């Protein structure tokens, strides 16, 4: 019998990719998702329970029925800008949701908990690359809600007798290499889907800020392929952490690309010239965010990023766009 893993947010962008890899690695992923942003058609690799992270009864029923040893927690709201407009919603879903889930995991004897955190916990880091020793200091409710969740896990791990793995993702990007899953282009706020959309539809694309203290004046980010992000979870499942302990990793490649470099890549891959408009800085953006300490995951989990070529990351999103838009 394959081991069951409960995946909250399993119908989402990263969660569905994780379910696919779980199934490929012999696990049985059970998706728990309210489908507010996740897509039910992405739940192909195991059963699904439709439920909200704040619905304790539904969570009880799912944990009772499937008895997972591990819970992987992706379900969250993820838009930084929205979090500044709707902080209560973000604290409720992300922070209170995680706390409620920890409580349920304790009641149901879950042994391992893998948590999706974010580089947003570092806020505006004083130096780059960002190591695990870099002081945290989120600059928006999204980052705070994730940092609070980390703290809840740290404080509750031993009481709940759960082994906790925290992954701080840098810029999750790319799409499923087989083009079976991927990002939503509708209303996308992230750079690569927006560029692909602009390239395909001939609509204008805005660069937010060209006066940053970087080589070409645009922001630099560490783009980590969604497949690699998902694969880190498989590595964590294979090498579990002892009950009551918490381990933390930066999940990135350890190198950055500027907005202009990503734009060039999208033009190369799509063969289209993008109508670029230079706009002012977007509130809350930091100039450079590159993951440091990426060797820690290599040493402790045997994980490292495999899709490190920006053109390949972009090509996978482009392939997915073509699948989504074929008629």
- Helix H or strand E encompassing 198: helix 191-201
Look-up of token digits 């728990």: 32
Q: Can you list the positions of beta strands (E) in 142-287?
A: 163-169, 171-173, 205-208, 220-221, 223-225, 246-251, 257-258, 276-279
Contact assessment for residue 11 and residue 42, using Cβ atoms and an 8 Å cutoff: yes
Token pair recorded at residue 99: 């706390």
- Which residue ranges make up the site for ligand UFG (CB under 6 A)? 78, 80, 118-120, 142, 171, 189-191, 194, 206-208, 219, 221, 259, 282, 285, 289
Long-range pairs for 238-242: beta carbons < 8 A, 24 or more residues apart? 238/25, 239/300, 239/301, 239/302, 240/111, 240/112, 240/163, 241/112, 241/163, 241/164, 241/165, 242/163
- Specify whether the backbone of 293 is left (phi greater than 0), alpha (psi in -120 to 50) or beta: left
Contacts of 73 (CB under 8 A, 6+ apart): 8, 9, 98, 101, 113, 114, 115, 116
The residue among 19 and 219 lying less far from ligand UFG, judged by its C-beta, is 219
The residue among 70 and 258 lying less far from ligand UFG, judged by its C-beta, is 258
Catalytic residue among 90, 142, 212, 321: 142
90 is catalytic: no
The residue among 118 and 250 lying less far from ligand UFG, judged by its C-beta, is 118
In angstroms, the CA 222 to CA 285 distance is 14
In angstroms, the CA 223 to CA 251 distance is 10
Q: How far is the CB of 120 from ligand UFG (least distance, A)?
A: 3
Q: How far is the CB of 187 from ligand UFG (least distance, A)?
A: 12
Helix, strand, or coil (residue 118): strand
Q: Please name the residue ranges forming H helices in 94-190.
A: 97-107, 141-160
The residue among 107 and 264 lying less far from ligand UFG, judged by its C-beta, is 264
The residue among 4 and 128 lying less far from ligand UFG, judged by its C-beta, is 128
The residue among 16 and 118 lying less far from ligand UFG, judged by its C-beta, is 118
Q: Name the residues annotated as catalytic.
A: 142
């Amino acid at each position: 019998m394959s081991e069951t893993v409960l995946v909250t947010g399993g119908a989402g962008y990263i969660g569905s990719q994780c379910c696919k890899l779980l199934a490929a690695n012999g696990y049985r992923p059970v998706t728990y998702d309210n489908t507010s942003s996740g897509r039910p058609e992405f739940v192909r690799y195991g059963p699904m329970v439709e439920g909200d992270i704040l619905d304790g009864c539904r969570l009880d029923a799912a944990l009772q029925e499937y008895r997972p040893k591990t819970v992987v927690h992706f379900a969250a709201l993820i838009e930084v800008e929205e979090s500044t407009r709707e902080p209560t919603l973000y604290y409720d879903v992300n922070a209170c949701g995680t706390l409620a889930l920890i409580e349920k995991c304790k009641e149901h004897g879950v042994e391992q908990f893998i948590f999706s955190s974010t580089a947003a916990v570092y806020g505006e880091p004083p130096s780059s690359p960002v190591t695990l020793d870099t002081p945290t200091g989120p600059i928006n409710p999204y980052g705070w809600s994730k940092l609070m969740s980390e703290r809840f896990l740290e404080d509750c791990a031993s009481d709940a007798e759960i082994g906790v793995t925290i992954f701080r993702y840098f810029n999750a990007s790319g799409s499923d290499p087989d083009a079976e899953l991927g990002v939503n282009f509708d209303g996308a706020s992230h750079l690569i889907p927006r560029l692909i959309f602009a390239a395909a539809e001939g609509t204008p694309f805005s660069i937010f800020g060209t006066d940053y203290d970087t080589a070409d004046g645009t922001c630099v980010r560490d783009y980590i392929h969604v497949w690699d992000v998902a694969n880190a979870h498989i590595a964590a499942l294979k090498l579990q952490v002892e009950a009551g302990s918490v381990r933390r990793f930066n999940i990135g490649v350890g190198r950055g690309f500027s907005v202009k470099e990503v734009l060039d890549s999208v033009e190369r891959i799509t063969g289209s010239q993008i109508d670029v408009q230079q706009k002012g800085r977007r509130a809350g953006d930091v100039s450079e965010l590159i993951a440091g300490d990426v060797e820690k995951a290599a040493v402790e989990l045997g994980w490292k990023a495999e899709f490190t070529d920006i053109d390949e990351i972009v090509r996978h999103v482009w392939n997915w766009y073509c699948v989504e838009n074929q008629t």
